[in-house]
């Protein structure tokens, strides 16, 4: 089938590559000429495992192309996906100006029947607005609007797209639904068909629930710290209940990234707008903010004044396997340390170049080697759950540090092993048991 993706960011590009991989003819559109030039040169503007290989292969096979020309895109695809950003307004509500603009641009280019698919995360009822807009700018145009939310995670986006848990298609027309089902047939995944509004809501409700799970275990971690229990064991124990599940019960510094903080704020704003305020989610946000505060307090309790203290930080990305630093709690932490006068020596396997470009990048030392980041450090903080940090040779870390103090903000390390190696180890929610001293 021929399809077009408007917006070639994380979601658009990865979705386009995966559709091409299963045999469709995909044209990816973006209004940023630099991004399209980069892609046409054969470079990938983001780091996502497996994506570069998949793009290269499908470009070579002629199934994946790029353009800045939206009308060309609309003419190409029987199905036209909208995958543009939906950034937050200062009050947390969703800024839909890019969606509206694309709807306006699509409208005059519709010559034959099109399915316009909303892939971006949007408030419930946006589909109606998109349809209204297209009708206003192209009266009589033959099209249907469909909501098809995306559930991919950064860092495993390709795998999530190729083997999705479910595909949600919100459609009010049999014709559009049939095309969407054909499009997704090669993925052999469970398809849930709904009305448009329900599909739109599923995305915000799913992300909010996952964030709720994280804040739940983080709130439990605070109780563990106060009581001497171990949150890892508690998570294991409750996660073994199939009704609860172990996933997304990893206590840590809290959730970040381009989705959760934005989507939870948006869902709160949407609920308030509809006159049914979802106050539980405000608590989810509060717990998330608190997690970093408690961590900083524990660091201060140990080091007293942070000014002039050399602190090594491992991890800057908002999670493992990505170079994405948007709303990264690791970066918030570094900013706080810098604001208190600490000398931060930071390392991340993929996100260093992105941090180098920030004003913050000039206030810290970015070190290419995790061991060297620890030179002279009074504490090592693990801020991102990169698996390689757990594999690090801590026997080599210790002699490089001024004092062998490890604050593990992602519970990656084993407290007993760290104690055996002579570290004083502080995890999240690991109570007194986690502080192992030689």
Q: Which residues are catalytic?
A: 259
**284 lies in the binding site for ligand UDX (CB under 6 A):** no
| φ/ψ (deg, to 5) at 233 | -70, -40
96: nearest Cα among 69, 73, 129 = 129
Kindly give, in sequence order, each residue whose CB lies less than 8 Å from that of residue 437, ignoring residues fewer than 6 positions away: 419, 424
Of 184-192, 253-261, 338-346, 413-421: span binding ligand UDX (CB under 6 A): 253-261
Of 192-200, 257-265, 268-276, 303-311: span binding ligand UDX (CB under 6 A): 257-265
Of 1-9, 242-250, 268-276, 360-368: span binding ligand UDX (CB under 6 A): 242-250
**423 lies in the binding site for ligand UDX (CB under 6 A):** no
**164 lies in the binding site for ligand UDX (CB under 6 A):** no
Q: Which H or E run contains 25?
A: strand 25-29
**205 lies in the binding site for ligand UDX (CB under 6 A):** no
User: Residue 438 CB, nearest distance to ligand UDX (Å)?
Assistant: 30
Of 107-115, 250-258, 294-302, 347-355: span binding ligand UDX (CB under 6 A): 250-258
Q: Which of 148, 208, 221, 250 binds ligand UDX (CB under 6 A)?
A: 250
Of 150-158, 173-181, 346-354, 394-402: span binding ligand UDX (CB under 6 A): 150-158
Q: Which of 119, 309, 319, 354 binds ligand UDX (CB under 6 A)?
A: 319
3-state secondary structure of 247: coil
User: What does the per-residue mask of binding to ligand UDX show for 39-78, with x meaning CB under 6 A?
Assistant: ----------------------------------------
User: Residue 321 CB, nearest distance to ligand UDX (Å)?
Assistant: 9
Which residue has 């995360």 as its token pair?
121
Q: Are 29 and 193 in contact (CB under 8 A)?
A: no
Q: Which of 248, 298, 414, 433 binds ligand UDX (CB under 6 A)?
A: 248
Q: Which of 7, 16, 73, 252 binds ligand UDX (CB under 6 A)?
A: 252
Q: Are 125 and 197 in contact (CB under 8 A)?
A: yes
Pairing label, strands 405-408, 191-194: unpaired
Number of residues that bind ligand UDX (CB under 6 A): 20
User: Residue 105 CB, nearest distance to ligand UDX (Å)?
Assistant: 25
User: Residue 259 CB, nearest distance to ligand UDX (Å)?
Assistant: 3
Sheet arrangement for strand 310-314: 365-366, 343-347, 310-314, 379-382, 405-408, 424-426
**151 lies in the binding site for ligand UDX (CB under 6 A):** yes
User: What does the per-residue mask of binding to ligand UDX show for 367-396, with x meaning CB under 6 A?
Assistant: ------------------x-----------
Cβ proximity to ligand UDX, 255 vs 425, nearer residue: 255
Q: Are 106 and 74 in contact (CB under 8 A)?
A: yes
Q: Are 10 and 323 in contact (CB under 8 A)?
A: no
The radius of gyration computed from the CA coordinates of the chain, to the nearest angstrom, equals 24
Residue-wise DSSP of 77-133: -SEEEE----PBPTTS-B--HHHHHHHHHHGGG--S-EEEEE-S---TTHHHHHHHH
Q: Which of 256, 349, 409, 415 binds ligand UDX (CB under 6 A)?
A: 256
**Cα 114 from chain centroid (whole Å):** 30
User: Residue 156 CB, nearest distance to ligand UDX (Å)?
Assistant: 8
Of 68-76, 83-91, 136-144, 152-160: span binding ligand UDX (CB under 6 A): 152-160
**259 lies in the binding site for ligand UDX (CB under 6 A):** yes
d(CA 202, CA 282): 19
Q: Which of 30, 154, 230, 378 binds ligand UDX (CB under 6 A)?
A: 154
Cβ proximity to ligand UDX, 259 vs 401, nearer residue: 259
d(CA 107, CA 340): 53
User: Residue 83 CB, nearest distance to ligand UDX (Å)?
Assistant: 12
Residue-wise DSSP of 325-374: -TT-HHHHHHHHHHHTT-EEEEE-TTTHHHHHTSGGGGTSEE-SSHHHHT
Kindly give, in sequence order, each residue whose CB lies less than 8 Å from that of residue 127, ignoring residues fewer than 6 positions away: 118, 145, 146, 147, 170, 196, 197, 200
Cβ proximity to ligand UDX, 151 vs 187, nearer residue: 151
Please state, in angstroms and as integers, the Cα–Cα distance from residue 26 to each residue in 126, 180, 239, following that order: 25, 15, 41
Judged by CB under 6 A, the chain residues 260 through 279 that form the site for ligand UDX are 260
Q: Which of 143, 267, 278, 318 binds ligand UDX (CB under 6 A)?
A: 318
d(CA 373, CA 367): 6
Q: Are 253 and 247 in contact (CB under 8 A)?
A: no
Q: Which residues bind ligand UDX (CB under 6 A)?
A: 150-154, 207, 210, 214, 248-250, 252, 255-257, 259-260, 318-319, 385
């Amino acid at each position: 089938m021929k399809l077009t993706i408007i917006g070639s960011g994380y979601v658009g590009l990865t979705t386009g590559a995966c559709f091409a991989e299963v045999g469709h003819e995909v044209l990816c559109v973006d209004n940023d000429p630099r991004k399209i030039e980069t892609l046409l040169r054969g470079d990938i503007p983001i780091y996502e495992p497996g994506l570069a290989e998949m793009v290269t292969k499908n470009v070579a096979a002629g199934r994946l192309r790029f353009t800045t020309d939206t009308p060309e895109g609309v003419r190409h695809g029987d199905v036209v996906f909208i995958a543009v950003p939906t950034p937050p307004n200062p009050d947390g509500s969703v800024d839909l100006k890019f969606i509206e603009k694309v709807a306006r641009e699509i409208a005059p280019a519709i010559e034959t029947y099109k399915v316009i698919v909303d892939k971006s995360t949007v408030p419930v009822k946006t589909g109606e607005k998109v349809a209204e807009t297209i009708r206003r700018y192209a009266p009589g145009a033959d099209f249907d609007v469909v909501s098809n939310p995306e559930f991919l995670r950064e860092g495993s986006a390709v795998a999530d797209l190729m083997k999705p848990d479910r595909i949600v298609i919100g459609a009010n027309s049999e014709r559009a639904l049939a095309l969407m089902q054909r499009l997704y047939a090669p993925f052999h995944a469970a398809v849930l068909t709904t009305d448009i509004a329900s599909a739109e809501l599923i995305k915000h409700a799913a992300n909010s629930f996952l964030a709720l799970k994280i804040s739940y275990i983080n709130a439990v971690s605070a109780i563990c710290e106060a009581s001497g229990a171990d949150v890892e064991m508690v998570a294991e124990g409750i996660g073994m209940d199939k009704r609860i599940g172990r996933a997304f019960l990893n206590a840590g510094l809290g959730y970040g990234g381009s989705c959760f903080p934005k989507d939870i704020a948006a869902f709160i704003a949407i609920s308030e707008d509809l006159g049914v305020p979802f106050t539980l989610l405000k608590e989810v946000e509060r717990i998330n903010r608190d997690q970093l505060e408690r961590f900083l307090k524990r660091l201060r309790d140990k080091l007293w004044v942070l000014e002039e203290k050399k602190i090594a930080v491992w991890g800057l990305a908002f999670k493992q396997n990505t170079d994405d630093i948007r709303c990264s709690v690791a970066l918030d932490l570094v900013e706080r340390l810098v604001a208190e006068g600490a000398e931060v020596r930071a390392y991340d396997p993929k996100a260093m170049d992105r941090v180098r470009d920030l004003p913050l990048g000039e206030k810290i030392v970015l070190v290419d080697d995790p061991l060297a980041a620890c030179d002279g450090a009074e504490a090592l903080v693990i801020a991102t759950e990169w698996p390689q940090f757990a594999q690090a040779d801590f026997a080599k870390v210790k002699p490089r540090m001024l004092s062998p103090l490890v604050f593990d903000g992602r519970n990656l390390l084993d407290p007993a092993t760290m104690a055996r190696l002579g570290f004083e180890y502080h995890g999240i929610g690991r109570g007194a048991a986690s502080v192992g001293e030689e």
